[in-house]
Amino acid sequence: MIIAIDGPSGAGKSTVAKAVAKKLGFSCLDTGAMYRAIAWQALADGVALDDDASLGAVARTHDIAFGHEAGDPAPKRVSIGGTDVTDAIRTAEIDRAVSPVSAAPSVREALVEQQRRIGCGGDYVVEGRDIGTVVFPEAEVKVFLTASDEERAHRRVRQNVDRGIGSIDFEEVLTDLRRRDDHDSSRATSPLKPAEDAAHLDSTGSYIEEVISRICDMARAKGAPVADASVGEGVR
């Protein structure tokens, strides 16, 4: 079974996806980390972010790998070409670079192929921006997760404070989120938009239990197993 969770940056997709995967006993695939890894490699190699052919070559020739810990459905480490980039891909520089990289048709073609291959290997919660529309249009459960611009910016600032990485200036983060929303929604290839049959969930002011419970209920209605794992963390 595939559970597709799409939505803009900062909506809580990663937090929700990890929790849903844990409760249902699924694996979790963070497609955003894959695009961030390509953006990091492109910058490291001096590749222009508007050079589709060169970006595609980066995506095709550098393997992306995830490191897992036993019993945890979500990957703890991300590497590209053998280099650990777990922290490096969560900087403000990568925040700015990932939109043009993810808009490159050749990059999307290369990574969508990888994502489909991974997802076909088991039960996955997959989060991103075009999972229910392009990557897994036949996903049994589709969710489009949103939150207000201000809420998303506050969450990103708190996240950056916790990690010690990225901007902690609210206005800067808010401006960057809105810029990325506009870029992701208007790109020609796989724009950010909800699938026609996606359930729309707004996490503004919500606790993670409410969002997770709704998604888990949808999955169980489609045949996912009932699990007992509990989650008690607020949406961030």
Average pLDDT over residues 28-47: 94
Residue 30's pLDDT band, with cuts at 50, 70 and 90, is: confident
Number of Cβ within 10 Å of residue 20's Cβ equals 29
Instruction: Report the chain's mean pLDDT, rounded to a whole number.
Output: 89
142: enclosing H helix or E strand: strand 141-146
* HEC profile of 184-214: HHHCCCCCCCCCCCCEEEECCCCCHHHHHHH
The predicted structure's pLDDT at residue 163: 80
Residue-range domains of the chain with CATH:
2-220 (3.40.50.300)
pLDDT surpassing 80 at residue 165 = no
Closest Cα partner for 24 from 34, 16, 12, 36?
16
Decide if pLDDT at 236 tops 60: no
Model confidence pLDDT, tens digit, residues 57-111: 999 999 898 887 777 777 889 999 999 999 999 888 998 899 899 889 999 999 9
Query: How far from chain centre, in Å, is Cα 170?
Result: 21
Please give the DSSP secondary-structure letter assigned to residue 224: P
Q: Which pLDDT belongs to residue 46?
A: 97
**Res. 180: pLDDT tops 50:** yes
State the Cα–Cα distance between residues 88 and 85, nearest whole angstrom.
5
Provide the percentage of residues in the chain whose pLDDT is more than 70.
95
Q: What are phi and psi of 151, to 5 degrees?
A: -65, -40
Q: What is the pLDDT of residue 53?
A: 97
Tell me if 124 sits within 8 A of 27, measured CB to CB.
yes
High-pLDDT (> 90) share of the chain, %? 59
Q: Are 197 and 4 in contact (CB under 8 A)?
A: no
Say how many CA atoms lie within 13 Å of 54 toward its Cβ: 13
User: By the 8 A CB rule, do 73 and 80 touch?
Assistant: no
Determine which helix (DSSP H) or strand (DSSP E) holds 97, and give its type and residue range: helix 92-103
Q: Cα(first)–Cα(last) distance of the chain, in Å?
A: 26
pLDDT value at 169 more than 50: yes
- The confidence score (pLDDT) of residue 206 equals 67
Q: What is the mean pLDDT of residues 48-54?
A: 96
Tokens of 123: 């039960």
Quick one: pLDDT at residue 3?
97
**β-strand pairing of 2-6 with 141-146:** parallel
Across 139-156, average pLDDT: 94
Asked if the model's pLDDT at residue 226 lies above 90, the reply is no
